[in-house]
Structure 1
Amino acid sequence: MSTLEEHVDIAVPIDAAWESLHHAEHYPRFLDGVRDARTETGGRAHLDVEAGGRSRSFEAEVSDHDDRRVMEWRTTGDPRLAGSFSLQPIDQGHTRLQARLEYDPGTVREAFGGPKGFAQANAIERQVRGDLEHFKEYLEQQR
């Protein structure tokens, strides 16, 4: 299992960032490859994703730790992915978003194609970093 951690500092209060994480229907606006997303009952989310020329649908279980501002998620089927988003206040108007992704490189390659080994890890890292930057831009433009 591989783990990737990235963070971005966003010029919005922590409550605004926390609220935005909970609107799955907005994910296509800032997550590259997500074509459709929706929150479902029972702490679940559904995402339609296109990556590596392949389309996939995912169901994920989502759990909140509101007191710590941590949202954890994991897919309920293949490919097995898990992760979390953690928010920390920097000051009254700025928030740090820490993203953590746990994945099996072979499973990701099987599901989406793409490079192997180190090149794959670099591609996933660039993707996550880009998505965090898009989320930052999305939130800051909403102000």
Structure 2
Amino acid sequence: MTTDVVQTVDVAVPVSTAYNQWTQFESFPQFMEGVERIDQLTPTRTHWVTTIAGVQREFDAEITEQHPDERVAWRTDRGIHQSGVVTFHRIDDRRTRVTLQLEHQPEGVAEKAGDALGLVQRRVKGDLENFKSFIESRGREEGGWRGDVGRSPQRPANGPADQPGTLPG
């Protein structure tokens, strides 16, 4: 059984600042509870190490769609089952609405019990609030990757992703 989570936060930075910071995956442990480490393997692949409720998990995630200042979508392909999308909506020149949609499949008794109690919803909400504090206190992003990933009219549906020149981070 999968669980869907949707949470939103408004941040007091321009949309490009919020988006650029979100593409710095290796900084996620600074504002995401339970994320120990993220390694950027390729422009579209990351390796995650998390510890939640004393259980350490490692998994890989693939960015399936990414459009600057709009969205980043992903899915796991080894380890846990998870997919999601984060979208960025310009409110005005200095404010952005960040919405995170997550689909995950809890494993084991403890995860299923925590899910039933709404722990994942609260964790995602807390992580978004932490992101808000993180980016607003800095006032600027640490870096950014403006690559575009996803299907384009010139590339077949099963074609390779765009090949950016540098890794985010």
* Fold similarity call, TM over 0.5: yes
Q: Report the identity percentage.
A: 28
Cα distance in 2 for residues equivalent to 1:129 and 1:116: 15
Find the residue that maps to 2:113 and give its secondary structure: coil
2:76 aligns to what? 75
- What secondary structure sits across from 1:76 in the alignment? strand
Q: How does 1:60-139 map to 2 (within 5 A)?
A: 60-66=61-67, 69-104=70-105, 108-110=106-108, 113=111, 115=113, 118-119=116-117, 122-139=118-135
Q: Deviations over 1:68-102 (max 9, x none)?
A: 61100111123110001000000000000000001
Counterpart-to-counterpart distance in 2, 1:112 and 1:44: 28
Mind listing any 5+ residue stretches in structure 1 that lack a counterpart? none
2:24 is aligned to 23
Task: Give the C-alpha shift of residue 111 in structure 1.
Answer: 8.8
Distance 1:65 1:37, change over 3 A: closer
Name the larger-Rg structure.
2
Distance 1:127 1:28, change over 3 A: same
User: Is the 1:84–1:100 Cα contact (8 Å) retained in structure 2?
Assistant: yes
Change in Cα spacing, 1:57 to 1:43, as seen in structure 2 (3 Å) is same
Task: Give the aligned residue type for 2:116.
Answer: F
Unaligned runs of 5+ in 2: 140-169
Q: Which residue of 2 aligns with 1:10?
A: 11
Most deviating of 14-23 and 35-44: 35-44
Deviation at 1:39? Answer: 1.6
Aligned match of 2:155: none
Aligned residue pair count: 138
Q: CA RMSD in A?
A: 1.8
Question: Which one has the bigger strand percentage?
Answer: 1
Preserved contact between residue 109 and residue 115 of structure 1 (Cα < 8 Å): no
| Inter-partner Cα distance in structure 1 for 2:88 and 2:82 | 20
Structure 1 outlier segments of 4+, above 4 Å:
none
Match of 1:32 in 2: 33
Higher helix share: 1
